[in-house]
Amino acid sequence: MENQIIFFNTLKNFKCPPEAELRVAIEQAFDQAGPELFKAFIKDYKQSVDTFKQAA
Amino acid sequence: MAKTTAFKFKSFTSETFGFTSTAWTAEALEGKAFPSDVEQLISWAADYLEPIAGKSVAYGIFPDNSKVAVAICEVVVTRHSSRSKWVKMLRVRLRPKIDEALNSVDNSSNFAMREALAIFMNATIGVLQFGESENASTIKVYGRTRQQLDFLKFLGIELEKVKTNPMKVTMEGRFLVVKSIG
């Protein structure tokens, strides 16, 4: 019987970067996107619960 | 120089949810938000305070030493397969008085903008840290509208520049998808 090699497509567990580096990245994203786009982004979360049930 | 408030992403207790519910409802009744809108959100959150696999959970963003949340985040943990677990952040809702200030045309808008950014920052970092603690393989951030997706693209570009524990970030449908690499 031939040896069978089974490859598992292993998914890595997420390893969170340090908080300080994430803060810099998010601040940079805000600077690049601009305040108006960020404001629109936050405002658009005020939607019906049903919308988010679909996303879940 | 404006003082920066420190925030924490954490689950609600019955006490902190009670304080939050009372404060948010009062602010809505003062005209800072649609009362029915806040009532619907609080009613939803009341049913989702405990984590249940595959169901949404309401987390709060709290200023240090405060029992009133400045934002409510909807997070859901789903098991995509036996080796793949996803943590998704679906929305971040601001406290009515911050939301109102953000939309005003006077100077309070600038302060509220910085506060909203600090809240979103803590929500995002909180959900990434939560994903690690849950042994998730993938973290997703939902964007419903075109503008939300546009902002998430900027966020993805910057997250990929992080050096420690580098991440691969893609847009898949209406989600920003974050995974560890290396």
Q: What is the ipTM of this complex?
A: 0.92
B92 and B40 in a single domain? The answer is: yes
Q: What is the gyration radius of the CA atoms in chain A, in angstroms?
A: 21
B6, B64 contact by CB (below 8 A)? yes
Nearest CA to B60 out of B34, B87, B24 is that of B24
Task: Report CA A48 to chain centroid distance, whole Å.
Answer: 21
B44 and B72 in a single domain? The answer is: yes
Which residues of chain A have a CB within 8 Å of the CB of B177? none
Contact A40 B147 (CB under 8 A): yes
Q: Collapsing DSSP states into helix, strand and coil, what is residue B166?
A: coil
B54 inside domain: yes
The span from the CA of A48 to the CA of B37, in Å, is 9
The count of C-alpha atoms lying within 13 angstroms of the C-alpha of B16, restricted to the half-sphere facing its C-beta, is: 22
Nearest CA to B151 out of A2, A13, A56, A43 is that of A43
B92 and B167 in a single domain? The answer is: no
The span from the CA of A48 to the CA of B159, in Å, is 29
A and B: number of Cβ contacts within 8 A: 155
Provide the whole-model pTM. 0.90
Q: Chain B within 8 Å of A6 (Cβ-Cβ)?
A: no
DSSP character string of B66-92: -SS-SEEEEEEEEEEETTEEEEEEEEE
pLDDT (tens digit per residue) in A3-37: 555 545 557 899 999 999 999 999 999 999 999 99
Contact A39 B116 (CB under 8 A): yes
Host H or E run for residue B96: helix B96-102
B153 and B108 in a single domain? The answer is: no
B1 inside domain: no
B43 inside domain: yes
The residue type at B125: I
Q: Which structural domain range is residue B15 located in?
A: 7-137
pLDDT score at B182: 65
B165 inside domain: yes
B153 and B96 in a single domain? The answer is: no
Contact A44 B90 (CB under 8 A): no
The count of residues in chain A is 56
What are residue B59's phi and psi, to 5 degrees?
Answer: -110, 155
Confidence band for A2, pLDDT divided at 50, 70 and 90:
low
- And the tokens for B147? 């503008």
B103 and B148 in a single domain? The answer is: no
B126 and B37 in a single domain? The answer is: yes
Domain count, chain B: 2
The span from the CA of A20 to the CA of A33, in Å, is 20
B51 and B77 in a single domain? The answer is: yes
CA distance B121 to chain A (A): 6
pLDDT score at B95: 97
B173 and B131 in a single domain? The answer is: no
B73 and B31 in a single domain? The answer is: yes
Question: Which residue numbers in chain B have pLDDT < 50?
Answer: 1-2
pLDDT score at B1: 43
B57 inside domain: yes
Enumerate the domain spans of chain A: 20-45
